[in-house]
Amino acid sequence: MITTVEDYSMARTKPGVLVFSGGGYHDFERGAELIGQALADRFRITHTTKVGDLAKVSGAKFAAVVIYAQGGTMTDAQAKSLEKFVSDGGGLVGIHCVADCFTASNRFKKLLGSEFATHGPITDFQVTVTDPTHPVVARTEDFQITDELYTLKDHSDYHVFATAHWQGVDRPMGYERRVGKGRVIYLANGHDPGVLGNRYFQRLIQRATRVACGETFDAIVRAGIIGYGGAFNMGLHHSQLINDTLGMCVTAVCDVDPARTDQAKVELGDTITTFNNMNRFLRDGEFDMVISILPHHLHAKAAVAAAKAGKHLITEKPFCITLKEADQMIAASAEAGKMLSVFHNRRWDADFHLML
């Protein structure tokens, strides 16, 4: 693990992120750990509690700085260095109490875009996604969280992508602003470890940092449907859900019955390619992920074949028929390095998340 700013050049396998934490009223030690946990699989984390390290980021070539801190002082020279880092293309992610950090620095407050005004009691409230096209919250549903809700005083213009309703006003819970070639993203949640460890918020932390580092999330995940039978019209159902999801589209359909693939073209358009043979579908179809809607006894066969063809796969429930089949499916996807999952239509509900 890299522990100092100067160690940056020793390891470049992942983009570097400098996490700065410290101050009062919050558990910053545990908070920094949880932020690192959210970022670890995508970034190489350097943690510091020294304000002076924020003035070194321009030369150290970090991709982004994440600040989870309260209070403190920052000189104008330090704020100017951080501002230059962002303007030159770096990212800055501020979490929660950063709005109450370095408040004597007008330059920093303008860079961040806002300043803490006040907050209500810790309570349960809904975070509402107001711009579902924004990459930080794309494909993220509104969620409930127990947290301290900040109200802000604006210092710059910004684009809000999430809000919470408090005292008759929709308060910003997440926003982005452009500074030169770089980006600043602020997430208002994050008062305590319970919030920072929340699975929804962990995802937002990682996405915010990825976006701040310049990821655009423009890539389209192409899906191929295998099994377009008429029973319950599940092929059409899944296809419509996929095509209605930002960043996804159906490009191919396979069914042994030519009448069903003809129907798929009627329902989904002539732009899709159709197949009546699974092997040709997996070999020639232009897609990244298979959606398997086959009869139960064929789930394992399709999953193993998809993995060998280098495709991700999501299968309708049940996962398969036997434990042996499950082991074969899991082994094949692991060997191929591809995702394997199963649709459980209640698995992602908030009440199930709470129990888990």
pLDDT digits over 163-195, tens only? 999 999 999 999 999 999 999 999 999 999 999
pLDDT of residue 60: 61
* pLDDT band at residue 265 using 50, 70 and 90 as cut-offs: very high
Q: Is the model's pLDDT at 5 over the cut of 60?
A: no
- Per-residue pLDDT, averaged over 151-160, amounts to 96
Cα separation, 9 vs 16, whole angstroms: 10
Domain 5-212 belongs to what architecture? Answer: 3-Layer(aba) Sandwich (3.40)
Average of per-residue pLDDT across 59-64 = 79
pLDDT of residue 9: 38
Tell me the three state secondary structure of residue 75.
coil
- 269 pLDDT above the threshold of 60: yes
219: phi then psi, degrees, rounded to nearest 5: -65, 140
Give the per-residue pLDDT at 339. Answer: 95
Averaged pLDDT, 236-245: 93
Judged against a pLDDT cut of 60, whether residue 134 lies above it is answered with yes
Q: Would you kindly state where each structural domain of the chain is located, as residue ranges? A: 5-212, 221-342
302, 292 Cβ separation under 8 angstroms: yes
pLDDT, averaged across the chain: 92
Number of H helices, E strands in the chain: 12, 17
Mean pLDDT, range 320-346, rounded to an integer: 93
The pLDDT of residue 183 is 97
Is the predicted pLDDT of residue 335 greater than 60, yes or no?
yes
Contact present, 131 and 169 (Cβ < 8 Å)? no
How do 159-166 and 169-179 pair as beta strands?
A: antiparallel
Q: What is the mean pLDDT of residues 331-353?
A: 82
pLDDT score at 200: 85
Task: Please tell me if the domain spanning 5-212 has the same topology as the one spanning 221-342.
Answer: yes
Q: Which helix (H) or strand (E) is 300 found in, with range?
A: helix 299-308
Q: Which ranges constitute the DSSP H helices of 40-189?
A: 57-60, 76-87, 106-112
- Asked if pLDDT for residue 219 goes beyond 90, the answer is no
Class of domain 221-342: alpha beta
Distance CA 197, CA 178 (A): 28
Per-residue pLDDT at 13: 74
